[in-house]
Each structure stands twice: as C-alpha cells, then as structure tokens.
C-alpha cells in the first residue's frame, strides 16, 4: 500500500536538516575512515565529516566517542561471527571445522585489519554496551563450540584450557601478523598466501 503523499510540493533536494538514517550512515562512514586512515585517524569529528554531518550530531545516536567505537566494534563482531560460522559449516569432521575456524579468524584480521584492531586492541571501547556484549558472545560462542566438539571429553585441567589454548594461538598469530612481527621469519614482502601457509604449519604441529 502506497504511503499517502504530502500535498504541498517539495524541492528536489531539500538538503534535509534531518538526515533520517544518520546512525547507519555514521557507522558506515566510521568504518570507511578506519580502513582508510587507521585507528589513529578514526576520530569523532572525522567520522562526522565523512558522513556529512556536524561534529556534534553523533551525540544523539552514540552518546560519546566510546559509544560510536563500541557500536562499530559490535558490527565488527557480528561480521566476525558470521565468517567464523560459515567457515566451520563447510566441514563435518570436528577437527577440520576447528581448523577452518582458526583460518577464518586470521583471514578476518587480514581482510579487515582496522576493524579487527578496533575490536580487540582498543582501550576506548565500552564493553558494557548491550550490542557489543551480544556480538562478542556470539563470536566467541562459535569458537567455544567448535573447540568443545573437537575435544569432546576434556582432560581434567581447569575448565576451558583447550578453548583458551586454541584461542590464544590464533589470536596471538593474528596480532603478531598485524604488527608486522612475523615478516622477518617469512623473508621479503610476505602476503596473505605466505601468512596462511605459515599458520597451517603452526596449527598442524601437534
């Protein structure tokens, strides 16, 4: 059913005072700034500029800088969870699923480095935000479930040692990679294939 149209004529581009969907536009703009200029360049004012709004506009939707960064991190964790889940579903054997998820973990860090760093290495997030908490829980749930399936009867040990072990390994690998600290061992100008081959070697060393 078509919405009833207003009777008075409206200008083609009234340069709308109210953006209408500034929240989503701000998130998209912030991610663009992040991937273009890195964490250092991602400021509240730069994101507002990129979205074509005034620098005080974000306040209405995100409260403050920590709010904007946290909501962006939340969309990052949601995308992360999707990728991990999709990678795992391509296999049935539990150990193969776990390896695929580990690879997807590192591939995400390579494909979305800015987002990955925002999600994991920012001291400027507010982890109490519901959207962020939920998205994080979803992503880590995928990982935890896959480890649990691969190691059905956990050795005594403190609960979750297997999970922490697998998680630490891929997370540390991704972090060292993004910091460029793996480059010396890989020779000159390493790229994604070299990084993934080394990861495979590391994961299959058991």
Partner DNA sequence: ACCTGAACACCGTTCAAGT
Binding site for a second copy (CB under 8 A): 38-40, 117, 120-121, 123-124, 127, 140, 155, 157-165, 167-173, 175-176, 179-182, 185-186, 197-198, 201-202, 205-206
Query: Does residue 169 touch DNA according to CB under 7 A?
Result: no
Site string for DNA, 66-105 (x = CB under 7 A): x---------------------------------------
Among 17-25, 83-91, 144-152, 193-201, the segment contacting DNA (CB under 7 A):
17-25
Query: Does residue 30 touch DNA according to CB under 7 A?
Result: no
Helix, strand, coil percentages in the chain from 3-state DSSP, rounded to 5: 70, 0, 30
What does the DSSP assignment read for 125-186?
Answer: --TT-HHHHHHHHHHHHHHHHHHHHHSSS--SSSTTHHHHHHHHHHHHHHHHHHTT-SGGGG
Residue 101 structure tokens: 């998820």
Report how many residues bind DNA under the rule CB under 7 A.
20
Question: Among residues 29, 30, 34, 53, which is the contact residue for DNA, using CB under 7 A?
Answer: 53
> Toward DNA, which CB reaches closer, 22 or 163?
22
Contacts of 16 (CB under 8 A, 6+ apart): none
CB of 44 to DNA, least distance (A): 3
Comparing CA positions, the residue from 135, 141, 139, 144 lying closest to residue 81 is 139
């Amino acid at each position: 059913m078509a919405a009833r149209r207003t009777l008075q004529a409206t200008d083609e581009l009234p340069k709308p005072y109210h953006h209408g969907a500034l929240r989503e536009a701000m998130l998209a703009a912030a991610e663009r700034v992040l991937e273009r200029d890195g964490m250092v360049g991602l400021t509240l004012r730069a994101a507002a500029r990129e979205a074509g709004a005034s620098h005080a506009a974000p306040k209405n939707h995100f409260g403050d800088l920590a709010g904007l960064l946290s909501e962006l991190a939340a969309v990052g964790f949601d995308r992360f969870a999707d990728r991990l889940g999709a990678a795992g579903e391509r296999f049935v054997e539990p150990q193969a699923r776990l390896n695929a998820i580990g690879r997807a973990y590192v591939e995400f860090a390579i494909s979305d480095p800015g987002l990955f760093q925002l999600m994991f290495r920012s001291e400027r997030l507010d982890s109490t935000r519901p959207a962020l908490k939920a998205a994080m829980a979803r992503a880590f749930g995928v990982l935890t479930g896959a480890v649990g399936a691969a190691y059905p009867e956990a050795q005594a040990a403190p609960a979750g040692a297997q999970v922490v072990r697998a998680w630490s390994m891929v997370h540390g690998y991704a972090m060292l990679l993004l910091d460029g600290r793996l480059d010396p061992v890989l020779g000159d100008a390493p790229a994604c294939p070299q990084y993934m081959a080394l990861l495979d070697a590391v994961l299959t060393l058991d």
